[in-house]
Amino acid sequence: MPNAHATISELPAELQAYLERLELECKQRVGIVPEDILVEARDFLAALYEDENLAANKSDEVRQRFAEAFGDPSQVAEEREDPEAAAKCVPGNAPGWRVCCTTCGRSAPGSRIGMIRIAAYAHHKYIGGFCQSCGRLRSFRVIQDLERPNLTGRLGANLTAAELRKSMHRPATIVFLILLAVLLPLATIGLVLFSVLR
């Protein structure tokens, strides 16, 4: 196993490249949790790298060994996709956007679940909705990250899937403070206008 204090930048470049490819493939699928798959792949392949002493091999050979051991990233993502959720997909227009449950991490590309998001200003936002995996109403994060491997950069050598998922979402207190910062000035202006017009 890799050193518990190592970070992803200290892991082999081949492993980083494999995890980034795997992340991008997983984000294109419906009903899977990319964080779970990335942590599983990282742990398995880091142990394989040390056990087989792959550091002595060429980069191409190491990448080939990773693909043989864990699977080609596109095949891994395809096998993990929820076929029932994929069958219910409706076309949308949200290039580059992904929706993920902030509780369980289940995600889907916005354009495959009927979302329309064109020329949006924010890079992410939160919405409410029903999560099929959780079976209840949840908060969903809508994020523009289909083309960039932002999860792999935070993964590190010892972060769990739950910790990785938590690091990607803003805590409720920060969301509350943002809302307060926006609503408080509006309420003050409203009170001033009300007292002037009365």
Query: Any idea which residue has 């693909």 for tokens?
Result: 67
What is the pTM for the complete model shown? 0.78
Tell me: pLDDT of 174 over 70: no
- CA-CA distance, 180 to 161, in Å (whole number)? 31
Give strand ranges (E) for the chain.
Answer: 97-101, 107-109, 124-131, 136-144
Strands 124-131 and 107-109: unpaired
Write the DSSP string, 146-177.
TTS-HHHHHHTTT--HHHHHHHHS--HHHHHH
pLDDT at 79: 95
Residues 103 and 126: beta-carbon distance below 8 Å: no
Sign of the CA dihedral with 169 first, then 174, 180, and 182 last: negative
Specify the pLDDT at position 154. Answer: 85
Tell me which range, 24-33, 48-57, 81-90, is most confidently predicted by mean pLDDT: 24-33
Q: Is the pLDDT of residue 198 over 90?
A: no
- pLDDT, tens digit (0-9, with 9 covering 90-100), for 66-120: 999 999 999 999 999 999 888 888 888 888 899 999 889 999 999 888 888 877 7
